[in-house]
Amino acid sequence: MCSTAVEAWQTDENIIFGVHSKTAPLEWRNNGVDMGFHLELMSRIGQMTDKRIVVRRKTFQQLLADVHDDTSPIDVIAVVSPVTIDRQLSQSDPIYATHAKAYTLQGKEFIHGWHDLAGKRVAIKKGAFVDVYITGQAQEFIRVDVDLYETGFQQLISGDVDIVLAENFVARRLMPHYPSIRSSSAPLIYGAFNFVSNHKNAQLMAEINDALRQLKLSGEYDRLVNKWFGTGREKVDLSNAQQRMFWLAILISIISALGMLLTGYISRSLHKRTQALNLELAQRKRAEQQISSLSQQFQSVLDGIPHGVTLLNRQCERLWSNDNNNELLTSTEFHFMHGDTFNLNSSLVTVLESQKSLIADMIYRDQFWQLQLHPIGNDQAVILLEEATERHNLRQANDEASRLASLGELSAGIAHEINNPTGIIIHSIAFFNHALKDLQQAADAYQKQNPFWLIAGLDPNRAMTELQVSSLTIEEGAKRISRIVNDLKRYALPTVTTEHQLLNLNEVVKVSLRLTANQTKIFRLITQLNEPAPMIMGDAQQLHQVLINLIQNACHACKPATGDDADSDTISIETSTSADGVSLTIRDTGTGMDSATLQRITEPFFTTRRSGGGSGLGLSVCSRIIKEHMTEMQFSSRLGQGTSIKIQFLSVSDSIKALKLPSLEQDT
């Protein structure tokens, strides 16, 4: 056919009808044949306009793009339009009414109107009539665009959205596949199905409207509506294979029934002949029943095995299988532990030729498996597949525990060695502090004699101040090293008691910030310390350790501030008092954590920064210290939105009662 003839075939004699649904009753396919209300209605219109209807299946988004494209071969599509809003296209008279309403998970509150959607995440199908209706209107809800209503249902189940606004016919089809979803509102939007075309086909749409009106006047339109939307006329898509299996099952049942009748007739005939043959037949039947029973029991045992069992011949044909995890054998993602992909054919030939079993550890995605391939004679082999993920994880955990146990023994020795030089530093720096006080007077006197005298390039007064601050910083750091070493020892001996004292919580925060100043200086840091300063009962050094660890974790989760970048992450520390006691809150706007990570963050040795040197002990130790202070640490976090950690301390009087400490009046 020449190009001119093809063009004429496409434009003059045919109507290219674009459809996207494959499910009854509007547009669907049964055994490869296109059917449905829209298709039959359009076919009848084609007969009345002397045009041939050609069906083209595409996605909904492709059809929307085609109908807006003057060069597209698609002439007409069927879509839903809100009854109050016309699409900016050439469209037919209304074909059939429908509506859209809200769908939620079972147990969620009923949606009484648009106001109940405020603040909720609502899934909207892009380009659908719900999208057309709300476009340009004020929206108090959070809109989440999806490509299909089914995508919205899946996101509703996974918790990514709260509500799905879906068209009635599609939702009715999807809900049997998603039993946890229910209809939760009366109709929110009313719409009507229309045939829609590009403005270039305005004449074609006029012909379609004339034909549609004639069908309504003649009553044929009502017949089509009753056929496809009448009560009890839900359509079911049966494949040829299913039908063949159904008739094959009936045929096998008939043959089995005939066989049973024939067996009964032969048995009665033999019984009439001789007593001896009857006895022999009875004995044979009993033996067959025992063998059959044993075979069924053996088959039940094999079918009940959770691991995959498959019997193959040399040609790699499956002779028998319990159908457990056999898809792994032919998957390209199923490979040996060392990385080579598993090839069933070559492995089977190797085992049969060598008559030696193959036992190997395998990996499939994030799972670990053990593969066993054993020869049975020269032409058959059996494959056993067993998931070993838990066993692999336990082995890794055991290896990790062994390494950590060795590390603990090593740490005890290192701690002892660290304590010695730390003690020397503390002792020496104390001497420096006393010496600086005495030298201050000498420095003042010498400066009067020599006004231009400098110490390390600085004014003497400033230099002496810097020396005192540096001396105190060294002493404080050495004491912290000593305390951390002792805490490391105490982690293995949690029964060691700690003396709690009256503390200024604001001072604890300030000391911790000084010790982490080198890390926090590149971040936007906000402190809001309550005045008057909240007082608590506790161990200052241990609370320093907790707060320093939380500040360091916040730094790891945030990106550094750059100039006046308003979008950079922020770390804030706040102290406050209330009727329930005293609280300390550390917030950051960093990467945040998912729910699975949030549940495990206080587990010993659990860390998301293993490759970056994290040991997973920081928050575990912090959790233990907080529990020793008879208080609690509350976590809240969301991915991409940051993390908030609130430590709620008891009041001083409640702490004294809970920790069984002497009262402050008695101490006084």
609 in Cβ contact with 556 (< 8 Å): yes
**Residue 553 CA to chain centroid, in angstroms?**
23
Task: Say if residue 158's pLDDT is above 90.
Answer: yes
With CA atoms as reference, report the closest residue to 623 among 590, 651, 591, 600. 600
pLDDT of res. 641: 87
pLDDT of res. 493: 46
pLDDT of res. 151: 92
Domain range for residue 126?
Answer: 1-236
Residue 657 domain-assigned? yes
Q: Residue 542, by phi and psi: left (phi above 0), alpha (psi -120 to 50) or beta?
A: alpha
pLDDT of res. 615: 53
pLDDT of res. 379: 86
pLDDT of res. 76: 92
Residue 104 domain-assigned? yes
Q: What is the mean pLDDT of the chain?
A: 80
pLDDT of res. 105: 93
User: For 441-466, what is the mean pLDDT?
Assistant: 77
pLDDT of res. 241: 45
pLDDT of res. 172: 85
Are both 227 and 245 inside the same structural domain? no
Residue 276 domain-assigned? no
Torsion sign over Cα 139, 140, 144, 149:
negative
Residue 275 domain-assigned? no
Domain of 84, CATH number, reads 3.40.190.10
Residue 161 domain-assigned? yes
H or E stretch including 311? Answer: strand 308-313
User: For 636-645, what is the mean pLDDT?
Assistant: 89
Residue 298 domain-assigned? no
CA distance 494 to 192: 71
Residue 5's SS3 state is: helix
Give Cβ neighbours of residue 193 (< 8 Å, ≥ 6 apart).
Answer: 26, 38, 78, 79, 80, 94, 95, 96, 97, 98
Band of the pLDDT at 123, cuts 50, 70, 90?
Answer: very high
User: For 199-221, what is the mean pLDDT?
Assistant: 88
CA distance 10 to 54: 9
Strand partners, 182: 104
pLDDT of res. 486: 67
pLDDT of res. 4: 40
Are both 143 and 46 inside the same structural domain? yes
Pick from 325, 353, 387: which residue ends a domain? 387
Are both 557 and 621 inside the same structural domain? yes
pLDDT of res. 401: 59
Are both 437 and 548 inside the same structural domain? no
- b/e 527-560 (16+ beta carbons within 10 angstroms → b): eebeeebbbbbbbbbbbbbbbbbbbebbbebbee
Are both 547 and 477 inside the same structural domain? no
Are both 490 and 412 inside the same structural domain? yes
**203 vs 597, which has greater pLDDT?**
203
Are both 119 and 9 inside the same structural domain? yes
Range with top average pLDDT, 82-91, 320-329, 551-560? 551-560
pLDDT of res. 600: 79
Domain of 550, CATH number, reads 3.30.565.10
Band of the pLDDT at 552, cuts 50, 70, 90?
Answer: confident
With CA atoms as reference, report the closest residue to 571 among 553, 589, 592, 559. 589
Tokens of 363: 């990996």
Range with top average pLDDT, 234-248, 404-418, 447-461, 622-636? 622-636
Residue 1's SS3 state is: coil
Give Cβ neighbours of residue 435 (< 8 Å, ≥ 6 apart).
Answer: none
Residue 270 domain-assigned? no
Q: pLDDT over 70 for what percent of the chain?
A: 83
Range with top average pLDDT, 234-248, 596-610, 639-653? 639-653
Are both 566 and 466 inside the same structural domain? no
pLDDT of res. 1: 37
**59 vs 490, which has greater pLDDT?**
59
Are both 229 and 370 inside the same structural domain? no
User: For 388-411, what is the mean pLDDT?
Assistant: 67
User: For 102-122, what is the mean pLDDT?
Assistant: 91
Are both 316 and 225 inside the same structural domain? no
pLDDT of res. 454: 78
What's the pTM?
A: 0.35
Q: What is the CA radius of gyration of the chain?
A: 40
66 in Cβ contact with 59 (< 8 Å): no
User: For 78-99, what is the mean pLDDT?
Assistant: 81
**Residue 294 CA to chain centroid, in angstroms?**
46
CA distance 25 to 229: 7
Range with top average pLDDT, 271-285, 424-438, 446-460, 631-645? 631-645
User: For 568-589, what is the mean pLDDT?
Assistant: 89
* Helices of type H across 516-617: 517-520, 540-557, 595-600
pLDDT of res. 21: 78
Q: Residue 636: how many CB atoms within 10 A of its CB?
A: 14
pLDDT of res. 37: 86
By mean pLDDT, which of 187-191, 508-512, 616-620 is the weakest?
616-620
320-328: list long-range contacts, CB under 8 Å, 24+ apart: 324/385, 325/369, 325/385, 325/387, 326/385, 328/362, 328/364, 328/369, 328/385
Are both 175 and 42 inside the same structural domain? yes
**Residue 50 CA to chain centroid, in angstroms?**
54
pLDDT of res. 668: 35
Domain count, the chain: 5
**445 vs 163, which has greater pLDDT?**
163
Give Cβ neighbours of residue 408 (< 8 Å, ≥ 6 apart).
Answer: 492
Task: Say if residue 622's pLDDT is above 80.
Answer: yes
Task: Say if residue 414's pLDDT is above 80.
Answer: no
Question: Which DSSP letter does residue 409 get?
Answer: H
User: For 581-592, what is the mean pLDDT?
Assistant: 90
Tokens of 651: 């009041």
Are both 436 and 504 inside the same structural domain? no
User: For 70-79, what is the mean pLDDT?
Assistant: 87
Task: Say if residue 157's pLDDT is above 90.
Answer: yes
